[in-house]
Amino acid sequence: MNPVNLKQLAQELNLSVSTVSRALSDSYEISAATKAKVQQLARELGYEPNPYASSLRRQKSKTIGVVIPEVANNFFSLAINGIEEVARENDYHVLIYLTHDDAQQEATIVQHFASGRVDGILASVAGETQDFTHFSKLQERHIPMVFFDRVCEEFATAKITTDDYQSGYQATQHLLEAGCRHIAHLLISDHLSIGQKRLQGHLDALRAHGLTPDPALLLRGTSNKDYNQTLIQELLQRNPAIDGIFASVETLAMSSYLACRHLGRRIPEDVKIISFSNLEIADLLDPPLTTIAQPAYEMGREAARILFKSILKNRPILPAQSQELKSNLIKRKSTATL
């Protein structure tokens, strides 16, 4: 059975293609009688308009592109949920592209969007990305885009972030108040603004408490989990005084956890750990892990909302539409005391 098209409906009903088209779009210039006839037959035959013909004609794809590093990660999963939901509300479709944190792949993907495949873009940039010309080319083509979480600062468009500086500050303050004096800071990429902001908050908090940041306690992780654990163990051994760890991303918190156990460092008695993380299962960890949860779902929704406001009203996105959402510091007590 072939897909049904307007022509077939028209023939069947002895009407012209355009009449059928208008009847289906419920145009005011069609009589109620023919509308009913047309719509009924369409339903019977299971007519579905060809979206590509329609896109070609209207120069609208009813599709947005989402470009993210990866999806095997609670943060981006939740964000996608939010995005898909808002897209559906607006009767839009969602194309997903994963960069695997590779700048080259990101460039290839983004460049392709110049084809008109999507009406707008939501992006969280790859860790290594330094050169943003692929994005700026799209801006020249007036394709609306919104960055979320991992944004590039130098773009005049909306960016949805969390209060990375503040929560970096808070997290450190939390460790300091718990008595830590030698806090290691673990981050992933040097190039990501979120990492830098969190680090800045961390350093400022230290200074505000009269401590001098020790560069030796700063560790850049890699993309290899096991190797990260080794690096952290070495860090702990080189600096036995370390009594707190601030992990900028979830995976580094996990590696820290394992590193401490491996070295027999008790958590939280010897070393306290705090981390950015959206894992619900953190509730189960004992010793407890204090986490800073980002409102991932809300970020996805908010970014999508701004994008659609632009797409549907055909207006440019202003940097002023940017938002900084509040993250949520979650302290947990050891459940052993229950």
Partner DNA sequence: CTGTTAGCGCGTTCAG
Partner DNA sequence: CTGAACGCGCTAACAG
Expressed in angstroms, the distance from the first to the final Cα of the chain is 64
Figure out which of the listed residues 27, 283, 315, 333 binds a second copy, where binding follows CB under 8 A. Answer: 283
Residue 115 found at the interface with a second copy (CB under 8 A): yes
Region binding a second copy by CB under 8 A among candidate stretches 29-37, 74-82, 145-153, 316-324: 74-82
Instruction: Kindly tell me which residue out of 38, 42, 67, 94 binds a second copy, with binding defined by CB under 8 A.
Output: 94
| Closest by Cα among 318, 234, 301, 265 to 78 | 301
Which of 1, 33 has the CB closer to a second copy?
A: 1
How far is it, in rounded angstroms, from Cα 3 to Cα 45? 9
Contact with DNA (CB under 7 A): which of 11, 36, 40, 56? 56
If contact means CB under 5 to 8 A according to the sort of partner, which of a second copy, DNA, none does residue 14 touch?
Answer: DNA
Site for a second copy in 246-265 (CB under 8 A): 254, 257-258, 261-262, 264
**Which range in 15-23, 91-99, 123-131, 213-221 contacts a second copy by CB under 8 A?**
91-99
Q: What are phi and psi of 57, to 5 degrees?
A: -70, -45
* Gap between the Cα atoms of 59 and 143, Å rounded: 13
Minimum CB separation of residue 31 from DNA in Å reads 3
- Structure-block tokens of residue 66: 């989402």
- Pick the closer one to a second copy by CB: 27 or 81: 81
State the nearest-atom distance from the C-beta of 112 to DNA, in Å. Answer: 13
Phi, psi of 247 (to 5 degrees): -95, 125
- CB of 39 vs DNA, minimal distance in Å: 12
Answer whether 197's CB lies under 8 Å from 164's CB.
Answer: yes
Is 298 an interacting residue with respect to a second copy (CB under 8 A)?
no
Contacts 24+ apart (CB under 8 A), 172-175: 172/201, 172/202, 172/205, 172/206, 172/246, 173/205, 173/209, 174/274, 174/290, 174/329, 174/331, 175/244, 175/246, 175/272, 175/274
- Tell me which of DNA, a second copy, none is bound by residue 222, counting a contact when its beta carbon lies within the kind-specific cut-off of 5 to 8 angstroms: none
42 binds a second copy (CB under 8 A): no
Q: Which of these segments, 93-101, 213-221, 233-241, 312-320, binds a second copy (CB under 8 A)?
A: 93-101
What is the DSSP secondary structure assignment for residue 295, as one 8-state letter? -
* Least distance (Å) between residue 73 CB and a second copy: 7
11, 40, 54, 224: which one contacts DNA (CB under 7 A)? 54
- Pseudo-torsion of CA 223, 224, 225, 227, nearest 10°? -130
Q: Assess contact for 246 and 180: CB atoms under 8 A.
A: no
Q: Which of 36, 156, 216, 284 binds a second copy (CB under 8 A)?
A: 284
**CA–CA distance, 311 with 63 (Å, rounded to integer):** 10
The interface with DNA within residues 77-116 (CB under 7 A) comprises none
> Taking Cα atoms as reference points, which of 204, 191, 215 lies closest to residue 165?
204
Q: Which residues between 9 and 28 bind DNA (CB under 7 A)? A: 14-19, 21-22, 24-25
> Distance (Å, rounded) from C-alpha 278 to C-alpha 73?
9
Cis peptide before 268 (omega within 30 of 0): yes
Residues that bind DNA (CB under 7 A): 3, 5-7, 14-19, 21-22, 24-25, 29-34, 49-50, 53-54, 56-59
Residues that bind a second copy (CB under 8 A): 1-3, 46, 48-53, 55-56, 61, 63, 70-74, 76-78, 80-81, 84-85, 93-98, 111-117, 137, 140-142, 254, 257-258, 261-262, 264, 279-286, 297, 335, 338
